[in-house]
A and B are shown apart, each in its own frame.
Chain A
């Protein structure tokens, strides 16, 4: 099973600043088979990024994904109040099973 490790667990950022979230895979991911999700309290996860860097429909351009191999990054530029949430990465390279990271909480500094 591929293990996904996210860091940091919590990130304190001021509105308007940039947040950089990391996701490390225990094995090499090919073809960018990695997704990012945002989850707010009481809500389901929402797809932000797939293919490591492609924004899902309706996702603002301030969200960007990058990386390859075992190291991936989600960057949120110019943080807005609605961006404070928990973010998860998910690999869909090695199956079964599909696996998620444990999440990074982005909180207001």
Chain B
């Protein structure tokens, strides 16, 4: 069974770049069966999909984030990462990494990590 775990700073200053990493265990991130994604959750906007990546490096992201998103994958470390640039207080959220397998629903989730944007 897959396990995912997010890591990264819990506090980011406004206008800076948020960086998070998701470490996958119990399976290979290079599996052709999976896409890997990031979702965030806020009290105001609820659950919001951010971006997805395939082991080949193919990516998709949410147009609402206006190209502030960079998602990357490191198959040697079984990790994928998220960078969100020019953050504001509105980017304060719990960030989850998750997997898609055979369908575009999210079957495995990390525990989530709270990122606060504040000076």
List the interface of chain A (C-beta within 8 A of B): 1, 33, 35, 37, 43-47, 50-51, 56, 88, 90, 92, 95-103
User: Can you give 30 A-B contacts (C-beta < 8 A)?
Assistant: A33-B104, A37-B106, A44-B109, A44-B111, A44-B112, A45-B96, A45-B109, A46-B109, A47-B105, A50-B107, A51-B103, A90-B47, A92-B104, A92-B105, A95-B60, A95-B104, A96-B49, A96-B60, A96-B61, A96-B62, A97-B49, A97-B62, A97-B63, A97-B64, A98-B104, A100-B46, A100-B47, A100-B49, A102-B46, A103-B47
| A99 and B107 contacting across the interface, CB-CB below 8 Å | no
Q: How large is the interface on B (under 10, 10 to 19, 20 to 34, 35 or more residues)?
A: 20 to 34
Contact partner of A50 among B61, B103, B110, CB < 8 A?
B103
Since A92-B105, A98-B104, A99-B49 are in contact, a sample of 11 more A-B pairs with Cβ atoms closer than 8 Å, ordered by chain A residue number, is: A35-B105, A44-B98, A47-B106, A50-B103, A50-B107, A51-B103, A56-B107, A97-B49, A97-B62, A98-B49, A100-B46
Against A, the Cβ 8 Å flags (1 = close, 0 = not) of B105-119 are 111011110000000
Against A, the Cβ 8 Å flags (1 = close, 0 = not) of B16-49 are 0000000000000000000000000000001111
Instruction: Tell me, in angstroms, the Cα distance from A33 to B103 when the chains sit together.
Output: 8
List the interface of chain B (C-beta within 8 A of A): 46-49, 60-64, 96, 98, 103-107, 109-112
Give chain A's interface secondary structure class: loop
- What are the residues of chain A within 8 A of B104 when measuring CB–CB? 33, 92, 95, 98
Give the nearest-CB partner of A102 in chain B: B46
B44 to chain A, nearest CB (A): 10
Instruction: Tell me, in angstroms, the Cα distance from A47 to B103 when the chains sit together.
Output: 12
Contact partner of B106 among A45, A97, A101, CB < 8 A?
A45
